[in-house]
Amino acid sequence: MLDWTADYLQEGERYPVLSRVEPGWIRSSLPAAAPERGESMGAILRDFERVLVPGLTHWNQPGFLAYFASSGSGPGVLAEFLTAALNQQAMLWRTSPAATELEEVVLSWLRQLLGLPDAFEGVIYDGGSASNFHALAAAIAHAVPDAGTRGLIGRSDVPPLRVYASEQAHSSIDKAVMLLGMGRQSLVKVPVDDQFRMRPAALASAIAADRRAGCRPVAVVATVGTTSTSSIDPVNAIAPICEGEGVWLHVDAAYGGAAAIVPDYASIFDGVGRADSVSVNPHKWLFTPLDLSAFYCRRFGAFRHAFALTPAYLQTDQPPDVRNLMDTGISLGRRFRALKLWMVMRYFGAAGLRARISNHLELAKRFAAWVDHDPDFERLAPVPLSVVCFRAVPRARELDAGALDQLNSRLLARVNASGEVLLSHTRLNGHYTLRMAIGHIRTEEAHVRRAWQIIRAALSGLCQ
Instruction: Name the residues that contact ligand PLP, by CB under 6 A.
Output: 68, 127-129, 170, 172, 223, 227, 252, 254-255, 281, 293
Q: Which amino acid is at 157?
A: D
CA distance 12 to 296: 35
Q: Which is nearer to ligand PLP, 130 or 147 (CB)?
A: 130
CB 167 within 8 A of CB 189: yes
Q: Which is nearer to ligand PLP, 73 or 229 (CB)?
A: 229
Q: Which is nearer to ligand PLP, 60 or 418 (CB)?
A: 60
Q: What is the nearest approach in angstroms of ligand PLP to the Cβ of residue 61?
A: 18
Q: What is the nearest approach in angstroms of ligand PLP to the Cβ of residue 173?
A: 8
Q: What is the nearest approach in angstroms of ligand PLP to the Cβ of residue 222?
A: 11
CA distance 377 to 460: 12
Q: What is the nearest approach in angstroms of ligand PLP to the Cβ of residue 223?
A: 5
Task: In the chain, count H helices and then E strands.
Answer: 15, 11
CA distance 358 to 262: 7
Q: Which is nearer to ligand PLP, 190 or 407 (CB)?
A: 190
Q: What is the nearest approach in angstroms of ligand PLP to the Cβ of residue 192?
A: 14
Q: What is the nearest approach in angstroms of ligand PLP to the Cβ of residue 70?
A: 9
Checking DSSP bridges between strand 187-190 and strand 161-166, what pairing results, if any?
A: parallel
CA distance 414 to 388: 19
Q: Which is nearer to ligand PLP, 418 or 443 (CB)?
A: 443
CA distance 221 to 230: 15
CB 325 within 8 A of CB 123: yes
Backbone angles phi and psi of 342, in degrees to 5: -60, -45
**Closest CB to ligand PLP: residue number:** 128
Q: Which is nearer to ligand PLP, 210 or 252 (CB)?
A: 252
CB 76 within 8 A of CB 340: yes
Q: What is the DSSP string of 28-57?
A: HTS-SS--SS---HHHHHHHIIIIIGGG--
Note the Cα 275 to chain centre separation in Å: 19
Q: What is the nearest approach in angstroms of ligand PLP to the Cβ of residue 224?
A: 8
CB 107 within 8 A of CB 123: yes
Handedness of CA 433, 378, 168, 250 (dihedral sign): positive
Q: What is the nearest approach in angstroms of ligand PLP to the Cβ of residue 446?
A: 26
Q: Which is nearer to ligand PLP, 392 or 422 (CB)?
A: 422
CA distance 250 to 298: 10
Q: Which is nearer to ligand PLP, 245 or 291 (CB)?
A: 291
